[in-house]
Homo-oligomer: A and B are copies of this chain.
Amino acid sequence: VDLAPLVAQLGSSGVIVDATDRARYEEPARGRRGTAAAVVRPATLEEVRAVVEWARTNQVRLLPQGANTGLVGASTPGVSSNDGEPTVVLSLERLDAGLTVDAGDRVAVVAAGTRLSALNAAAARHDLHLPIDLSADPSLGGMVATNTGGSRVLRYGSLRRHVLGAEVVFADAAVSVVTHLDAVRKDSRGLELPQLLVGSGGALGVVTRVAVALTPVPEATATWWIEPRDEAAVPELLAALEQDPAHGELLSALELLSVGALEAAASHGGEGGGVPFAARRPPVVLLAEWSGPSTAIDGLERLFARLVEAGLANDAVAVPPARSWALRHGVTDALRVRGVVLGHDVATPRRALMAFRADARAAVQALVPRAEVSDFGHVGDGGLHCNVVFPHGIAPPTSAERAAIRGAIEAAVAAHGGTYSAEHGLGPLNAARWRATTPVVEQAVIAAIKRTVDPLGLLGHRDHPYNHASLGSEEKPDRA
């Protein structure tokens, strides 16, 4: 690959070739490391265009990468992608200048490389925030490419809902730039091009800026831990919390932790005494959050007294939000420390989640009795991280076991009308499933879009589903 023209345009700090320096761009947060011919780091829109032009001229694959926190392998080379074609990581991390917050309009315009934490720090000065809550700290461009969800989707929706516009560089012959950053909140001009980029995993265009709607930081927040009567009571508890007239609309999260997930997080955090209901070890506990005016958060004690009296819950206890979320967000790391983790990011219709969960757990335990199913996730929106742990000291999963576990979980998800990718987006890790389950006409639509905005097929991981969409049988238009 001839990098000289890029070095001339981006400067030497804009092009990384040294293997040691490349490492953190090549190592994915989940999956296996591959090799990039280089990492290019444009710092302006014009430099992004120059990179795309260079890639077109040199037939080089570009992997757009934000903060490299993605979990489906979309932004790193991976082991399979170097078969005969050079791959370059297009890091957007230097594209992080020019953050603006319009407090009256409640809109922020953010460069793609800006981290969620930096956006929220700037927004907090106006008592605003982007209410997406997760344990990682992704970049805004990566969040668009992923359609990030998190713990508060129940109330605020996934990132898609907050995206008012974007600036995107395409890899068509003109290297077109489309800029929709005016942040109009009511618009029915048909296709909203930025919406197409949501969840596209870097395979349709390079997002360089994003306009997002902000919401007020709530005056008060309360978190309670709940021990449900049993697993079957969980859907009824969700309904009861949502239907409470005084607090239902203020419910901002309802999370579930299996006993394995909770205990791993507690021991990892080194705070042994603080685990709710630790002595009884219930199979699942729930974490509920309410946010809103301080006067409206009152009265949760009475609500829980009613739920206990009704037999839906055994117990409930208020724990300060910071402690609650530290425990909850510590689960992912805690499981990783415990051993080999096979992660599965799934969701079903909310009504079906607990039935799915029972089926999936039974199937996995039948396949690998030695493993622990330490699942946790988002009862409030139907999402579940159905994570299977092989602790240190027992045999790690074989390749066949990994595939069998994934197959069993995804079959259970499909049987309950769910999705194999709830909030982690599309990438090589779920490409086969996408291709097997996406209707032919939907694949053909993707292929047609892809051919229009990236006719040389250079953008996104070689194994990204959009790079393997079936065009279907083409029909020639026979009228004007």
Contact = CB atoms under 8 A, between A and B. Distances in A.
A347 B185 contact: yes
A265 to B, nearest CB: 22
A440 B176 contact: yes
A199 interface: yes
B295 A189 contact: no
Given A293-B245, A439-B178, A187 B347 contact: yes
A100 to B, nearest CB: 12
A445 interface: yes
Contacts of A68: none
B421 A196 contact: no
Interface in A73-123: 102-107
A418 B184 CA distance: 6
Interface of A: 59, 102-107, 127, 146-149, 153-154, 157-158, 161, 170, 172-174, 176, 178, 182-193, 195-196, 199-201, 216, 218-219, 235-236, 238-239, 242-243, 245-249, 292-296, 347-351, 378, 381-383, 417-426, 434, 438-442, 444-449, 451-453, 455-457, 465-466, 472-480
B292 A190 contact: no
B445 A191 contact: yes
Q: Interface on chain A toward B: helix, strand, loop, or mixed SS?
A: loop
B477 A451 contact: yes
Contacts of A474: 455
Contacts of A201: 190
B446 A190 contact: yes
Given A172-B475, A249-B293, A445-B191, A348 B184 contact: yes
B173 A246 contact: no
Total identical chains: 2
A59 B477 CA distance: 12
14 contacts: A103-B239, A104-B351, A106-B242, A147-B187, A172-B472, A173-B473, A184-B348, A188-B424, A190-B465, A191-B445, A245-B293, A246-B295, A449-B449, A457-B479
Given A245-B293, A449-B448, A191 B149 contact: no
Contacts of A174: 440-441
A50 B59 CA distance: 46
Most buried by B among A183, A190, A417, A473: A190
Contacts of A245: 219, 293-294
Contacts of A417: 182-184
Nearest to A295: B246
B104 A238 contact: yes
Contacts of A172: 441, 444, 472, 475
Contacts of A445: 191, 193, 196, 449, 452-453
B423 A188 contact: yes
A68 B19 CA distance: 63
Given A178-B441, A378-B186, A423-B186, A448 B446 contact: no
Q: Looking at A199, A249, A451, which has the most chain B CB atoms within 10 Å of its CB?
A: A249
Nearest to A168: B441
B189 A421 contact: yes
Contact of A451 (B200, B238, B383, B448): B448
A186 B104 contact: no
Given A104-B235, A448-B448, A188 B146 contact: yes
A251 to B, nearest CB: 11
A158 B188 contact: yes
Contact of A190 (B103, B178, B349, B426): B426
Given A105-B350, A445-B449, 4 more contacts: A184-B348, A185-B382, A196-B445, A444-B452
A382 B186 contact: yes
A187 B452 contact: no
A350 B104 contact: yes
Contacts of A149: 186, 188
Given A191-B446, A193-B442, A216-B249, A184 B452 contact: no
Contacts of A439: 176, 178, 193
A71 B7 CA distance: 54
A158 B178 contact: no
Contacts of A295: 246, 295-296
B187 A421 contact: yes
A475 to B, nearest CB: 4
Contacts of A475: 172-173, 455-456
Contacts of A438: 189
Nearest to A195: B195
Which of A295, A442, A456 neighbours the largest number of chain B CB atoms within 10 Å of its CB? A442
